[in-house]
Structure 1
Amino acid sequence: MVRRKLYNKLLTHIDKKEFSIITGARQTGKSTLLRQLETHCKELEKPAVFINLENKLLVADLNQSPLNLLRYLPETEERIIVFIDEVQYLDDPSNFLKLLFDEYAGKIKIVATGSSAFYIDTRFRDSLAGRKRLFHLFTCSFDEYLSIAGEALLLQELITINSQPGYKSLKIDLLRMEWEKYMIYGGYPAVAAEPELNEKAALLKEIRDSFIKRDIIESGVQNEVAFYKLFRILATQSGNLVNVNELAATLQIKNETVVNYLNIMQKCFHIALIRPYFRNLRKELTKMQKVYLPDSGLRNCLLNNFQIFTERSDRGEIWENVVFRLLMENNETDEIHYWRTSAGNEVDFILPAQQNPSAIEAKLNTSLINPSKYKLFRSAYPEIPLKFSILNPVNEDFFRNLP
């Protein structure tokens, strides 16, 4: 059974007083993760109950009173772990969790998943402050992708490459092939597990057409056609500035509607918007943001383009988008910025909040690096070292130097 990296973090949090809330886009594996944690608890003979709120009878009962949950729990002196899947289906999930924490935190530990509609609710942020810890489940990283794809030998080879600085791999061509598939089809678990490329594309289209539609319905979007058109435009503009005025004019909808749709897409974890980096915080908050799609497979699906990487005209955009996805592994989105001047000088990513700040520029190969383009940045921010994340050649050092 493949376990995601988030599994161990959740495991260490199970004994904490705070409730554990798992966020993430649909189809990233939240329910599977919950079941694996339940199995672990039962193996250790910890009292555990799994509640799936796709069951409308359960939802109706818990809507009557959060305390009705107690009727589904075993009688025991031990603290009971309650796994709740799809908590957003309750009428007032924030109040449900708040009441149970305030009155029964010593007897009940809740580990819950929920879709975006729940997290848009300001009551979730306000009423659960200090009562919960959020855990974000992304689509798979490359090592998780290899594991789910059944490529155990290549995963071990990747580990060896990263643990031995001078190691030369006999499987580097196979790793390169899998890496290019990963960039084209992304990391949704079901997509990673599917060996046939046509079926990978079909699964991504199912995610696009069925599961994202559920996000649209639950978020109260009125103009579904405009929402999808905006989503496709953003996929074509990955790594570019988001101009709300231009988007509204193109789609013939109000600026406020574009802003609302952008907010929903962020809360659904389908896009990420990053802010510019300035020393002047006021300027930083008033400038345009850049957009990325956290899963390159979904991006390519929206563009209906699954061409192999070497034949694509958007290789640079894909690589920059993948570098952003790699940075998301260890940084909150709010901690990732970009730098740009009115004259067009730009650095793709700035990570200023770290103890060791860094700037990262994504390039397909070293021949595309023009040192003079970065003189202004290096002069303005000498304390932030500039690094280049180079795609080609995809060799041992490439995997060692991934962001």
Structure 2
Amino acid sequence: ALQIGSEVSYTELAQTINVDKNTVNKYIDILQKGYIVFKLGGFSRNLRNEIKRNKKIYFYDNGVRNMIIGNFSPLELRTDKGALWENFLISERIKQIEYKQSLSHTYFWRTKQQQEIDFVEENNGKIYGYEFKWNNKKKIKLPKTFTKTYDAESKIIDRNNFREFVVI
């Protein structure tokens, strides 16, 4: 729960909680079937420097995650507000995709050089990349490698334009 929006290694998690990897896999499967969490896989078209193996795990409800870690502090006092923001946006988009029975496929994208796109959506042969920022005061550059390689549209989602992203 503390690693929300980060890549998760089942092996590392198993070692941390002192169980085997299959047990971790079963626990996460149960949480998925109960609509507590969902996974995003890595997007790749077999480029050598792209990371596809690991998954990111998100919560359908930030409140459940906050309860698990015991943190109900106001948002302005939180050190994890960027991760909460990312989880909120991705979970709401996933809910819309599932509700509308869209044929979209969803991923994240990262390279070995640490270039990253928070959320990738593939629909009808078109690829869209989204980067989420709570603090929109910083100038953000999206990785050109992604947009050039995949002829993708990309957009930064922040507090000013998030509604158009979560309601499809």
Which TM bucket (shorter chain)?
0.7 to 0.9
1:176-204 CA-partner distances (Å, limit 9, x unpaired):
xxxxxxxxxxxxxxxxxxxxxxxxxxxxx
Aligned to 1:389: 157
| Cα offset, 1:367, TM superposition | 2.9
Whole-Å Cα distance in 1 between the matches of residues 120 and 156 of structure 2? Answer: 12
Q: Find out whether 1:253 has 2:23 as its counterpart.
A: no
| Cα offset, 1:340, TM superposition | 0.6
Whole-Å Cα distance in 2 between the matches of residues 345 and 285 of structure 1? Answer: 10
Query: Runs of 4+ in structure 1 displaced over 6 angstroms?
Result: none
The alignment covers a number of residue pairs equal to 161
Q: Which runs of 5+ in 1 are unaligned?
A: 1-234, 392-396
| Cα offset, 1:310, TM superposition | 1.2
Aligned to 1:316: 82
Q: What is the SS of the residue equivalent to 1:349?
A: strand
TM-score by length of 1: 0.37
Q: Any residues of structure 2 matched to 1:91-110 within 5 Å, and which?
A: none
Change (3 A) 1:251 1:264: same
1:261-280 CA-partner distances (Å, limit 9, x unpaired):
11111111111011111124
Change (3 A) 1:322 1:286: closer
Q: Find out whether 1:353 has 2:123 as its counterpart.
A: yes
Q: Any residues of structure 2 matched to 1:184-333 within 5 Å, and which?
A: 235-280=1-46, 287-332=53-98
TM-score by length of 2: 0.85
Aligned to 2:145: 376
Aligned to 1:401: 164
Rg larger in 1 or in 2?
A: 1
- Is the contact between residue 131 and residue 156 of structure 2 (CA under 8 Å) also seen in structure 1? yes
Change (3 A) 1:354 1:310: farther
Whole-Å Cα distance in 2 between the matches of residues 289 and 296 of structure 1? Answer: 19
Higher percent of residues as helix: 1
Higher percent of residues as strand: 2
Whole-Å Cα distance in 2 between the matches of residues 267 and 334 of structure 1? Answer: 20
Whole-Å Cα distance in 1 between the matches of residues 96 and 13 of structure 2? Answer: 31
CA RMSD of aligned residues (A): 2.5
Q: What amino acid sits opposite 1:320 in the alignment? A: E
1:193-245 CA-partner distances (Å, limit 9, x unpaired):
xxxxxxxxxxxxxxxxxxxxxxxxxxxxxxxxxxxxxxxxxx11110111011
Aligned to 1:185: none
Q: What amino acid sits opposite 2:145 in the alignment? A: L
Higher relative contact order (Cα pairs below 8 Å, separated by 6+ residues): 2
Whole-Å Cα distance in 1 between the matches of residues 104 and 34 of structure 2? Answer: 16
Q: What is the SS of the residue equivalent to 2:79?
A: coil
| Cα offset, 1:339, TM superposition | 0.4
| Cα offset, 1:379, TM superposition | 2.1
| Cα offset, 1:335, TM superposition | 1.7
Whole-Å Cα distance in 2 between the matches of residues 366 and 295 of structure 1? Answer: 24
Change (3 A) 1:370 1:260: same
Amino-acid identity (%) = 30
- Is the contact between residue 364 and residue 390 of structure 1 (CA under 8 Å) also seen in structure 2? yes
Whole-Å Cα distance in 2 between the matches of residues 286 and 401 of structure 1? Answer: 28
Whole-Å Cα distance in 2 between the matches of residues 355 and 318 of structure 1? Answer: 30
